[in-house]
Structure 1
Amino acid sequence: MLIVVCSLMLQKAGFAEEKDSHEVHRVSVFRDLVYAEVPGEEGDRPLQLDLFVPATSEAPPLVVWIHGGGWRNGSRRNPKLMQVTENGYALASLSYRFSKEAIFPAQVHDCKAAIRWLRANSKRYGYNADWIAVAGSSAGGHLALLLGTSGDVAELEGEVGGNLEQSSRVQAVIDYFGPSDFVLRGKTQPERAYTDLSGSYALLGGKDGKVAESMERLASPATHVSSDDPPLLIFHGTADKTVLLDQSERMVELYEALGLEVELIQHEGAGHGGKRFFEGDSLRRVLAFLNAQRPSRDENIASE
C-alpha cells in the first residue's frame, strides 16, 4: 500500500545550523513502498521501504539507509541520517528479512533488490539514482559494506524483486561499526561469534556452537574487496565490545592495500552506538564525504 504525504516541513539541524535556523524545506514522503515480494508463511509477503525526497533545483542524489538490530530485529522507521534530506539528498530507508525468517544471503539479496527497484523508479519519485550512497549501522553497516564490495559476486546478487536489468552497485559507502570479517571475529570474539550472544550465529546458520567457514567467508565484506570498490567512510567506537574495532581496521587494511579511498573515524571511549555517531562533527564528516563523492554539488533548495 502506498501512502504519500507531501510538503513535510523539516527544521534545519546538525550541519546546517550555520544557516538560518528558521529556514525549512519541502520534503515529499512516500511510505510503505513495496520493492519486492518474498515467500511467507501464508503466501508471498511484501518487502517495503520509505522514501524522502526534498524539493531541490535538480533531482537529488540518493542515500540509502539500512538499519541495524543483529539481523534479527530493528525497523526502517526513523532512519538515523534524516538530516541528509536537509542538505540536498533524497533518503530511502529499507526493511529486509530477519534471520528467523531466512538465513544469509537473503538479507543482502533483499538490499540489492531495493537498490535495483530504486533505480528503476527514480524518475517516478523525482531523485537521481545514477549515483547512490548506502549507509548502515551495526548489522546494517555489514550489509552496506557488502553492497559496496560484492558488486561482482553473482552468488550475492539474487533475483529478489526482479528489475535485473538495473545495477545494484553503489557509489559510496558509510559504515557505522558493522562486522566486516566473520572469520576474524571467530578468532577474536568466539564467545559472540559462535553463540546466540551475536545475531550473526543465527544469520549464518550456526549450529552446535559452529558456523561453516565457507558461510563466514561468503558473508564477510572483507572477502570481496576488489580494486573497483567505492569510497568508504567508517565510524567506530574504541570501547565497542559488541563489534570490535578490529573489524573496521580490517577494511581499512584491505582498502589501503588496493589504493582505494577509505577513512576510519574513531570515537574515543564510545561503545556500540550512541548519538555522537550521528550528529555534530560526525554528521559534518558524513556530509563532507557525500558532497565530495556526489556527481553534482548543487545543494540549492527550491522554495515555493
Structure 2
Amino acid sequence: MKNSILVLIVIAFGPAIVAGAGVPAPAYRSELRIPYCTVDGNVLTLNAFLPIDAKKPTPVMVDIHGGWWSGGEPVTGIPDYLAKKGIALFSISYRLGERGGFPQNIRDCRNAIRFIRKNAARFNIDPDRIDCMGGSAGGHLSLMVAMVPDDFDDGGPTDELEGYSARVAGCFGFIAPTDFIRFWNQGPDDAVTSAYGGITFRVPDPKIPYDSRPRLRMLFHGITPDSPEHMALYRRMCPMGQVRKDVPPLLICDGDIDPIVPGLHGKLLHEKLQNLGADTTYWMSVNGGHAFPSGDGFMDLLDAFLIRTLKLTE
C-alpha cells in the first residue's frame, strides 16, 4: 500500500561538531513516514531519527508540529541540542483541520506515544524515558499529552495499541494557547451579516491579529463556548482544564510580544499548576514573538530540563 512505504535513510548528521559542545554528536539514521496508526481511514505516520551506534536503549523526544492544528508537517532532521545528547527524535503527523479537531488530534498524538513505546526494542529506545515537545498548536498538543489522565475521553487507543501507555516523562511546550475560552474571547468576531439579514462565518484571515474564532469554530466541529456544556468542552480540551498536581515535569514558555497567542497564556498555566504543587518551570522570552524560546540562559535551562526528565548522564 502506497501510504505504508517505509523509507530508510542514513543521514550524515554526525559525527559533526555541535556549536558550543566541543565534542562530536553521534551519527544518526532516519526512518521516514513510518505508519503508526490507521483511524477513520487515515494512515498516520511519524519520522524517526535514531542514534546509529547506541550501546543501550536511548531516551526519546517526541516532536509535535504546529500550524493552527490545520497545517504543518513532521520535521525531517534533528536539532543539535537533541543530537548532542544522543536523544532519539520522533516527529509525528496527526489529523489536521476538519478531519481532525478536538479531541481527535489529541488522540492521534497519544497513539503515537503508544506506538513508540510498543516498538521500543525495534527502535532501541527506553520506554520509560519519553518526553514530548512542541510549539504553538504543537505546544498545546504536547501539553495535553503530558497532562491528561490515562482515561481521557479522546477515543482511546486503536486495537493494536491497546495496553500501551501514552504517558510521558516530561514536556517542553512553548508559545501554546492554554485556555481555549480565553483564546476565543481574545479573538475578533467572525460573524458576517448579509444585506438580507442572514449570518455567515468568515474563514480565518492571516491579516487579523489573534483570529482564533474561525479556527476554533472549525476545530470544535461548529461548537462555540456559548453554553455551560460547551464551555466545559472547551476547558476539557485545553491545558487549563487539565490542571492537577500529579502531572509530569513541564517546561512552559511564552513570547513576551507573541502576535498569535496574546497575553502570556503559559504564565497563567504555570502559576495555576504551581499553586497545586506541580513540577513546572517557566520561561518568558523578553521581546520574543511566536517563535522558539530565546534569551540568555534559555538553552542552559532546556539542557537542565532534558537531563532531569530523561535521566541523562553528562
Shorter-chain TM band:
0.7 to 0.9
Q: Is the 8 A contact 1:193 1:201 kept in 2?
A: no
Q: What pairs with 1:32-71 in structure 2 (closer than 5 Å)?
A: 32-39=33-40, 44-54=41-51, 55-71=53-69
Aligned to 2:161, what secondary structure does the other structure show?
A: coil
Distance 1:184 1:49 in 2: 32
Q: Is the 8 A contact 2:255 2:264 kept in 1?
A: no
Amino acid at match of 2:92: L
Q: Does 1:241 align with 2:259?
A: yes
Q: Does 1:3 align with 2:21?
A: no
1:302 match:
none
Superposition deviation, residue 209 in structure 1: 9.4
What do you get for the CA RMSD once the two structures are aligned? Answer: 2.5
Distance 1:102 1:76 in 2: 16
Q: 2:21 aligns with which of 14, 18, 32?
A: 18
Superposition deviation, residue 217 in structure 1: 1.3
Distance 1:244 1:222 in 2: 15
2:118 match:
120
Aligned to 2:13, what secondary structure does the other structure show?
A: strand
Q: 1:261 aligns with which of 279, 294, 300?
A: 279
What's the CA shift string for 1:45-101, capped at 9, x where partnerless? Answer: 310000111133321111100000000000102467453022121110000001222
- The range that moved more, 60-69 or 153-162, is 153-162
Aligned to 2:94, what secondary structure does the other structure show?
A: coil
Q: Is the 8 A contact 2:47 2:90 kept in 1?
A: yes
What's the CA shift string for 1:105-146, capped at 9, x where partnerless? Answer: 110000011000000001011111212110000000000010
Distance 2:156 2:221 in 1: 18
- The range that moved more, 154-163 or 204-213, is 204-213
Q: Per chain length, whose mean CA-contact separation is higher, i.e. which structure has more relative contact order (CA < 8 Å, sep 6+)?
A: 1
**Are the structure 2 counterparts of residues 120 and 181 from structure 1 closer, same or farther at C-alpha, using a change threshold of 3 Å?**
same
Distance 1:282 1:72 in 2: 29
Distance 1:279 1:81 in 2: 18
Compare CA radii of gyration and give the structure with the larger one: 2
2:198 match:
none
Superposition deviation, residue 200 in structure 1: 3.0
Distance 1:204 1:193 in 2: 15
What's the CA shift string for 1:164-192, capped at 9, x where partnerless? Answer: 211001110101111111122234x1327
Distance 2:220 2:294 in 1: 29
Superposition deviation, residue 207 in structure 1: 6.0
Superposition deviation, residue 215 in structure 1: 2.5
Aligned to 1:104, what secondary structure does the other structure show?
A: coil
Specify every segment of 5 or more residues in structure 2 that has no aligned partner in the other structure, as ranges: 192-201, 205-210
Aligned to 1:142, what secondary structure does the other structure show?
A: helix
What's the CA shift string for 1:9-68, capped at 9, x where partnerless? Answer: 332335xx2314xx34211211110000122xxxx2310000111133321111100000
Specify every segment of 5 or more residues in structure 1 that has no aligned partner in the other structure, as ranges: 300-304
Amino acid at match of 2:46: L
Amino acid at match of 1:289: F
**Are the structure 2 counterparts of residues 166 and 251 from structure 1 closer, same or farther at C-alpha, using a change threshold of 3 Å?**
same
Distance 1:38 1:115 in 2: 15
Q: Is the 8 A contact 1:84 1:287 kept in 2?
A: no
Superposition deviation, residue 278 in structure 1: 6.9
Q: Is the 8 A contact 1:37 1:161 kept in 2?
A: no
**Are the structure 2 counterparts of residues 80 and 135 from structure 1 closer, same or farther at C-alpha, using a change threshold of 3 Å?**
farther
**Are the structure 2 counterparts of residues 254 and 81 from structure 1 closer, same or farther at C-alpha, using a change threshold of 3 Å?**
farther
Q: 2:305 aligns with which of 286, 289, 293?
A: 289
Q: Does 1:227 align with 2:245?
A: yes
Amino acid at match of 1:109: R
Distance 1:215 1:208 in 2: 9
**Are the structure 2 counterparts of residues 208 and 52 from structure 1 closer, same or farther at C-alpha, using a change threshold of 3 Å?**
closer
2:184 match:
186
Normalising by structure 1, report the TM-score.
0.85
Q: Is the 8 A contact 2:250 2:279 kept in 1?
A: yes
- The range that moved more, 201-210 or 97-106, is 201-210
What's the CA shift string for 1:218-249, capped at 9, x where partnerless? Answer: 21111112221011112211101211243101
Q: What is the percentage of aligned positions where both structures have the same residue?
A: 26
